[in-house]
Amino acid sequence: MRVLLDTNVVLSAILTDGPPRALLTSVLRGERELVTSPFLLDELEELLVRKFGFSADAARATRAELEALARVVHPTAIPNVCRDEDDNHVLAAAVAGAAQLLVTGDHDLRALGGHEGIPIVTPAEALAGGAP
């Protein structure tokens, strides 16, 4: 199953134990295929430094590890669906990567329920089979 893990889920997977980490572990085991984009990787790297005190080198290395695991897509169109422009980039990456699930903790994205046939679910819902 191809999944896009929003940046907030990836950060939670890196920093805490719980459903986000279990999802990332399933990617490492080859049980799920991870989809991401340069925009999301840039966001991850920047937040690791700015909000979580990672050194620039550690953030870059974390990004490189994630990039090596993922199918990195380059969306050609960014929808204008969400009030937060960054959320539109998440949707674009999910569509460009033909994700079967978009996993997020973001309330605005979750409120959509889905986008272009891609269910938008929480990490716990993704682990339970993807149904909200």
Per-residue pLDDT at 130 exceeds 90: no
Domain ranges of the chain: 2-127
pLDDT digits (tens, 9 = 90+) for 49-93: 999 999 999 999 999 999 999 999 999 989 989 888 889 999 999
- What is residue 20's predicted lDDT score, i.e. its pLDDT? 97
Q: How far is CA 23 from each of CA 2, 4, 11, rounded to the nearest angstrom?
A: 12, 11, 12
Average pLDDT, integer, range 28-51: 97
pTM, rounded to two decimals: 0.94
> 2-127: which CATH number, 3.40.1390.20, 3.90.470.20, 3.40.1350.10, 3.40.50.1010?
3.40.50.1010
Nearest C-alpha neighbor of 35 from the set 77, 11, 12, 69: 69
